[in-house]
Amino acid sequence: IYSFFSIFHCVPQDHIWWIVLKHKTGTIFLYNLYTPLFQRFYSSFNFAFSLVEQNAAQSTFKRVAVFSALRLILTDLFCSVPGRLSLLSSTSKYKVTIAEVKRRLSPPECLNASLLGGILRRAKSKNGGRCLREKLDRLGLNLPAGRRKAANVTLLTSLVEGEALHLARDFGYTCETEFPTKAVGEHLARQHSEPKETSARKKMVLATKQICKEFQDLLSQDRSPLGSSRPTPILDLDIQRHLTHFSLITHGFGTPAVCAALSTFQTVLSEMLNYLDKHSSGKTSGPTPLRKTAEPQSKDGKTEKTE
């Protein structure tokens, strides 16, 4: 083995130890360590071997020289996929990274070859499933034949993360520019605009705005992995893992879409407050009614007519 291969680099990435092996012919192969007791090596030569030493990740490396550092980055491009929601005149292509493919194969979705091939637009290609599995094998990503999906399939399942984010941005822009926030806010405020209800109603709206803001602040701290980014978590892991689950199921569409809806709701509440403030001040400090002036009277008590 040592006469044919040399280790280029060994690096932990995304909780997986990756080894880059260089054949004496110059060909580069990828090799990942799932356990220290049994390893499987994938190559185009269909050559496989096992490392069964108890501490293989250390003892083997000591006997092999490291020539240079070559890091496997999960943000490397896996393929480019045409969008599903674009019109024919503006078809976009979205980049799919190795990390995104890994997310689709991992919980909570655990997609099978058929669904993953459909997302990556390889379902109709000849031997698409087999070629996809072979490519994933070379990257150390396991996609066994006959695998059953773990989550329900929705329309969002068919979208790659780039297109899901694009859809979320367009949804947010449409909510901000087209939703009738002023009309809806004033309509809701008119239902309870009686003077005796105004004060209590304003307190309710202000309390609702505060709760909504706290919810928005929470979602703004979501650090779910998406696209090529893997940000450092800010929230407690107990809540972050639930937000990450939601993001994985919706391919990144969920949290931005909820934030857009909450922002629209905040604007509606602000319009309600404006309406209540304007009409309550109008009723309390409106124009004073004209007083009737006393009609001039004559000395004998009879009213005099004035011209």
Task: List, in order, residues 6 or more apart from 11 with CB less than 8 Å away.
Answer: 17, 18, 69, 71, 72
The rounded mean pLDDT for the chain is 75
Distance between CA atoms of residues 211 and 282, nearest Å = 29
* Domain residue ranges in the chain: 5-62, 77-153, 157-283
CB 132, CB 120: distance < 8 Å: yes
For 238-276, the DSSP string reads HHHHHHHHHHHHTTT-HHHHHHHHHHHHHHHHHHHHHHH
In the prediction, which pLDDT does 291 show?
A: 45
* 257-301 tens-digit pLDDT: 999 999 999 999 999 999 999 887 765 554 544 444 444 455 455
Tokens standing for residue 209: 């705005």
pLDDT of residue 253: 97
Walking along the chain (307 residues) 10 residues at a time, the average pLDDT comes out as: 44 50 55 41 32 37 32 73 85 90 92 89 72 84 78 93 96 98 96 86 96 98 88 94 96 97 98 91 53 48 51
pLDDT of residue 258: 98
Both tokens of residue 215?
């919810």
Give the pLDDT of residue 219.
98
Residue 21 is predicted with a pLDDT of 58
In sequence order, which residues have a C-beta less than 8 Å from that of residue 71 and are 6 or more positions away? 9, 11, 13
Q: What pLDDT is attached to residue 224?
A: 95
97, 252 contact by CB (below 8 A): no
- Which pLDDT belongs to residue 71? 38
The predicted pLDDT at position 153 comes to 92
Task: Give this prediction's pTM.
Answer: 0.68
